[in-house]
Amino acid sequence: MPHKAPAPADARPTAKPGAGSGSGPADAPPESPAADIDAGQFARNMLTVGMKSQQLLLDFIARRKADPGPLDPLNITGAMMALAKAMGEDRQTVLQAQVRWWTDVMTLWESTARRMLGGQAPSLVEPAPGDRRFRAEAWQQNEIFDFIKQSYLLTANAMQDTVGRLNGLDEAERQRVAFYTRQFADAMAPTNFPLTNPEVLNATIASNGENLVKGLDNLLADIERGQGELAIRQSADGFVIGENIATAPGKVVFRNAVMELLQFSPSTDEVHERPLLIFPPWINKYYILDLRPENSFVRWLVAQGYTVFLVSWVNPGPEMAEAGFEEYMKGGIFAALEAVEQATGVRDPNCVGYCIGGTLLAATLAYMAATGDDRIHSATSWAAQTDFSEAGELSVFVDEAQLDALKARMDSQGGVLPGSKMAGAFNMLRANDLIWSFVINNYMLGKQPMPFDLLYWNSDTTRMPEKLHLSYLRNCYRDNALALGKMTQDGVKLDLSKVKIPAYFQSAREDHIAPAVSVFKGSRLFGGPVRFIIAGSGHIAGVINPPAAKKYQYWTNDKKAADIDTWRAGAKEQPGSWWPDWDAWLAKLSGGKVAARVPGDGKLKVLGDAPGSYVKVKAQ
């Protein structure tokens, strides 16, 4: 499953659209409790909360009756049955886990009692690095809340540890069970309940319960916006495509049923002779590469003297239900190559594929190698997989029961998958940051989310054609057919070892969608010269990291390595962004300098201004 990209762990909301300050959605310190509660106002607010909650429940029941849908589309039942079977057959591991947990809990009771009597006692367990749920002072200073926190962490850790130790689970089952066990543990965190969250308690006392009333209003608004399903707002409004995001100057120079092709205006007098053609993932909109001027990859590339063409994929409707990899290869990559040649006279541009766009590009390169087509000079892969044998947690969504449920869902929607369904799956990969933090902020504290361009993009979803999406999940995630040489495209068998052009593979250390080990293994399938690097951060910030920000780092290793552990052992850490490293590699493959090209100067006429029309089509 491709790209709905989770926000990076260090991402920070902005106080204004396009700004870069502030902290997480629930970062504000708790308000001081009011000295006195207005009992009458508090009672009225609680009555309002009760009435709205009752109506919410009734509406939910009515919607389930009208459209019951699959009871278990994620096949959680199958994972839990596998867990129960393994626990029944490996009683020794279960007993040992219970003894360890009980011993830890008794020790915690003892240390808590010592603290309540005025003594000192060290914590038995601390939140993992990066876990922001327990930052409020009360979780450290108040003995009761500290006990709740530690008992929760001990239990959550024990659950995960038991799953890891159990015999009788194959690795695929263990991964699925561990994933859903973590989802359950995250959902049961004391921070997610008003009575065990000190920040929510303080806010409730200070506002006489007004926060809960506002929170329910936010919840109802999100359900209405999701047309009966919960669509959590991660960013306040305030962004307009083409006005304060996706503003790099350029033109639409080609359009068909699959994509619009954007050519961006030059900012230098001379440009590299060979243009650059970028294929973003079709599961998202292209403007992750052009959010704000200061972090726009597009603007940076133009400033380095590249003629940049970028595909903006259509947001498909039921009319494209039968479009598959072949249609996206021919109507996307091949049509774009022809258009670039018409616009510039160059028949073999350098090409880039981002995430699932990189998977399509790799499959197309294998097809071109088999058919003698040499219209791509070099290929760059940003956070893209071709070997899915270690594809990470997204693999938990591709067992047969889930694929059948997914097909039924798409059939009911006319042959497309609503973008909100994909967004939900990606948000689950980082549920505490992308789901539960907003549940607390929006529904319990009654606040509005901050305006944040990255999370606005994250929620600006696209639909998936049924044939394309299912073939991707089955061929790549389930069968790993592209890596094994068993995948065909338009009747041609694909063999990545026949791809001899230079290739650059960017991965990211904390990428949960395209793990670095997966990208590394895929890079070794290609038959030409390959450069592989690992960037800091994750799937988004690992790619979108302008040099001026002076953030993160990247690792390089020019020696061949049989596996990623060997590669890491010999890698050298480099400070800052990986973009200059790629630029140095790419410039050598881009020819001499020519006069800057203006969109419309070639044989292609301008059809309209960037960002075009396809990117503006909204869909659930």
> Could you tell me the two tokens for 512?
């949960």
What are the tokens at 41? 């106002």
Count of C-beta atoms within a 10 Å radius of residue 118: 6
DSSP state of 489: E
Can you spell out the DSSP letters for 211-254? HHHHHHHHHHHHHHHTTTS-----S-S---BTTTBS---EEEEE
C-alpha 188/C-alpha 133 separation (Å) is: 12
Spatial separation of the C-alpha atoms in residues 275 and 182, rounded to whole Å: 46
Question: Do β-strands 530-535 and 553-556 pair in parallel, antiparallel, or remain unpaired?
Answer: antiparallel
Q: Which residues are known to be catalytic?
A: 355
Count of other CB atoms within 10 angstroms of residue 61: 10
Task: Give the list of residues 6+ apart from residue 55 with CB closer than 8 angstroms, or none.
Answer: none
pLDDT at 36: 66
Per DSSP, helices labelled H in 254-355 are 297-303, 325-328, 335-344
Cβ atoms of residues 610 and 264 within 8 Å: yes
The percent helix, strand, coil of the chain (3-state, each to 5) is 50, 10, 40
| Number of neighbours of residue 63 by Cβ within 10 angstroms | 15
The whole-angstrom separation of Cα 168 and Cα 165 is 10
- What stretch of H or E contains 581? helix 579-587
Q: Which two structure tokens, joined as six digits, stand for 241?
A: 């495509």
Tell me the C-alpha to C-alpha distance, in Å, between residue 560 and each of 230, 350, 390, 531, 578: 48, 24, 20, 10, 20
What's the burial of 586, exposed, middle or buried (CB within 10 Å: 0-12/13-18/19+)?
buried
The DSSP secondary-structure symbol of 610 reads T
Residues in the chain: 620
Tokens of 527: 């038959």
Contact (CB, 8 A) for 499 and 527: yes
Q: How far is CA 439 from CA 183, 201, 382, in A?
A: 15, 15, 32
Report the distance separating Cα 276 and Cα 299, nearest Å: 13
Joined tokens for residue 127: 């939140």
Residues in the chain, pLDDT under 70: 1-36, 64-65, 67-71, 619-620
CA–CA separation, 99 and 102 (whole Å): 5
User: DSSP label at 345?
Assistant: S
Q: Please check whether residue 371 is in contact with residue 17, taking contact to mean a CB–CB distance below 8 angstroms.
A: no
> Are 525 and 387 within 8 A, CB to CB?
yes
Strands 276-279 and 270-272: unpaired
pLDDT at 495: 98
Do the beta carbons of residue 94 and residue 168 sit within 8 Å? no
Q: What is the pLDDT of residue 70?
A: 66
What's the confidence (pLDDT) of residue 38? 82
pLDDT of 20 reads 33
Contacts of residue 505, Cβ cutoff 8 Å, sequence gap at least 6: 380, 381, 384, 519, 520, 522, 523, 530, 531, 532, 533
Rounded distance between C-alpha atoms, residue 246 and residue 289, angstroms: 8
| Signed CA dihedral, 525, 530, 535, 541: sign only | negative
Which stretches of 344-457 are assigned E, i.e. beta strand? 350-354, 378-382, 416-417
In this structure, which amino acid lies at residue 612? G
What is the rounded distance in angstroms from the CA atom of residue 72 to the CA atom of residue 69?
A: 9
Residues in a beta bridge with 353: 279, 381
Helix or strand or coil: residue 402? helix
- What pLDDT score does 69 carry? 64
Q: Where is 163: in which H helix or E strand? A: helix 143-165
CA–CA gap between residue 488 and residue 483 (Å, rounded): 12
Q: Determine the Cα angle at 53 with ends 50 and 57, to 5°.
A: 140
* Peptide linkage before 611 cis (omega within 30 of 0): yes
For the chain, the maximum distance between any two Cα atoms, rounded to a whole number of angstroms, is: 83
